[in-house]
């Protein structure tokens, strides 16, 4: 999407469920937590990996102006991205089953 350089937070469903359960069961966990994988990627990197796993080319990015036409101000969420790191979750000792996108996509597809 757009130029592809925006950060793309992602998480495998098993890690999300595991993190939620971990936080519920951990009495010292309070406040907000980033539920994202610890190894962030750009949108272009994630799209390339997804294309490899699906055995499909990831050639044509969606231009930013198209997203703005379709989604208006909401396109900012897709085009700006955010480099979210689960620091607090890691500090509490949570271990990810799928810290990297390649292994997560391999498990899902």
* pLDDT confidence of residue 18: 98
* pLDDT confidence of residue 56: 82
* pLDDT confidence of residue 78: 65
9 and 86 Cβ atoms separated by less than 8 Å: no
* pLDDT confidence of residue 1: 61
3-state secondary structure of 101: helix
Predicted TM-score of the model (pTM): 0.78
Residue 47 has pLDDT above 80, yes or no: yes
Question: For 53-88, what is each residue's pLDDT tens digit?
Answer: 888 876 667 777 776 778 787 766 666 777 889 999
**Percent of the chain at pLDDT above 70?**
86
Q: Give me the phi and psi of 8, to 5 degrees please.
A: -125, 90
**Percent of the chain at pLDDT above 90?**
50
* pLDDT confidence of residue 59: 62
């Amino acid at each position: 999407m757009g130029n592809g350089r925006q950060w793309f937070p992602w998480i495998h469903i098993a890690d999300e469920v595991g993190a939620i359960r971990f936080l519920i069961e951990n009495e010292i966990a309070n406040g907000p937590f980033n539920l994202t994988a610890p190894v962030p990627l750009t949108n272009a990197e994630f799209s390339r990996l997804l294309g490899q796993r699906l055995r499909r080319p990831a050639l044509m990015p969606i231009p930013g102006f198209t997203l703005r036409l379709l989604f208006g101000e909401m396109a900012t969420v897709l085009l700006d991205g955010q480099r979210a790191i689960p620091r607090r979750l890691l500090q509490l000792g949570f271990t990810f089953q799928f810290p990297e996108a390649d292994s997560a996509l391999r498990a899902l597809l």
